[in-house]
Amino acid sequence: MRTELCRKLGIEFPIFAFSHCRDVVAAVSRAGGFGVLGLNGFLPEQCETALTWVDEHVGDKPYGIDIVIPGKYEGKGEMDPAKLEQQLNAMIPPEHRAFADKILADHSVPRLPEGEKLNVLLGWTAATATPLLRMGLKHDKVRLIANALGTPPADIVQEIHQTGRLVAALCGSAKQALAHQAAGVDVVIAQGYEGGGHTGEIGSVVLWPEVINAVAPTPVLAAGGIGSGAQIAAALAMGAQGVWTGSLWLTTQESDLTPVQKDLLLNAGSRDTVRSRSFTGKTARMLRNDWTEAWEAPEAPKPLGMPLQGMVTADAMARMHRYADKARDVMFNPAGQIVGQINAMRPVKATMRQLVDEYFEAIERLQRLTGDAAE
């Protein structure tokens, strides 16, 4: 199960786990995988605190970070966050904020306390993601930096490479993968339609071999719909050097999601997700609920592009998290179709052990088939 990428990063298993939760990241890396901390949404001071904590709890294991610098977004080129926020705020039609506020008001979700600071731009721009990246580069145990949307800017790739670290980037097509490779990306993450969060139009089983063949010998991680060791075996059989997982870790005991969110995820089926632009402005897969349905209604305003839609929904997401019990039916829950197979809350270590055991069971099944054919 140990691939060349495992050897390069010094890990036991080619299981990469994306999470916004520091506890999950540290636990996965301690268990022999590779935890990746999603920094989008962190304020700079929160980012430094989280990275320091992971350093202290990961032992001598490496981990990674994930940032978001989209290839295309409104306001691209402006690197002063304050100026960018002012510029973008002027572009948001009042009816979008009013529509978002009405959805929450209809569900009796309270407003935030007066004067509470909001991170309205999150990390959706180069101006806000670059400072988070540079904080990550100060931490020696961070060995890989992934960009979740689009090909990383050339100066970012160069800056990361100068520190001796690897650059990864997600894609949803072979064309995007080739653009990543041409930009010097070291690891391409091919995420299929089934995946949670931002996804493309091509299913995993079709996408993975297309990307693997297109960018060979650049290593590829398979993503989208992975929740078992058998699926890991299938990805490696196609030529992937590992798997990139996300939804699988949302309901682990270490996850810092609210109990309401975990309950919704544990009780969801594979048909309960929808791809929607209603939260970030780019198509992302999440649990279907009253919020996603409202933005699909004929009278709803059309979701804005990134990061404008995220600025519209920043207040809503903060209120949903703070008042989770009230926001149950409008909660933002990004998750892939594999959510239908996630029905128990277990420790990260137990989940890792099960993935490895299932992987070897799948390999043994194939070996038995090979033996039967030979006879």
DSSP annotation of 84: H
Decide if pLDDT at 241 tops 70.
Answer: yes
DSSP annotation of 337: G
Whole-number pLDDT of residue 119: 81
Whole-number pLDDT of residue 373: 57
- What CA–CA distance (Å, rounded) separates 185 from 150? 11
Whole-number pLDDT of residue 56: 98
Contact (CB, 8 A) for 221 and 188: yes
Decide if pLDDT at 149 tops 70.
Answer: yes
Confidence of residue 50 (pLDDT cuts 50, 70, 90): very high
Confidence of residue 324 (pLDDT cuts 50, 70, 90): very high
* CA-closest candidate to residue 314, choices 146, 89, 147: 89
Average pLDDT on 224-243 reads: 97
Whole-number pLDDT of residue 372: 61
- pLDDT per residue as tens digits for the range 160-208: 999 999 999 999 999 999 999 999 999 999 999 999 999 999 999 999 9
Whole-number pLDDT of residue 355: 98
Q: By CB neighbour count within 10 A (0-12 exposed, 13-18 middle, 19+ buried), where does 373 fall?
A: exposed
Contact (CB, 8 A) for 18 and 66: yes
- Give ∠ CA 199-232-141 in degrees, rounded to 5: 80
Tell me the DSSP string of 23-66. HHHHHHHHTTSEEEEE-TT--HHHHHHHHHHHHHHSTT--EEEE
DSSP annotation of 334: B
- What CA–CA distance (Å, rounded) separates 222 from 318? 32
Asked if the peptide bond before residue 347 counts as cis, ω within 30 degrees of 0, the response is no
DSSP annotation of 340: G
Whole-number pLDDT of residue 375: 58
Collapsed DSSP state (helix, strand, coil) of residue 221 = strand
Which CATH number among 3.40.50.11540, 3.20.20.70, 3.10.20.30, 3.10.580.20 corresponds to the domain 4-71+124-256+345-374?
3.20.20.70
Domain-by-domain residue ranges, the chain?
A: 4-71+124-256+345-374
The rounded mean pLDDT for the chain is 95
Q: Angle formed by the axes of helices 94-106 and 308-322, to 10°?
A: 20
Please report, in angstroms and rounded to a whole number, the separation of the first and last CA atoms in the chain.
27
Number of helices (H), then strands (E), in the chain: 14, 11
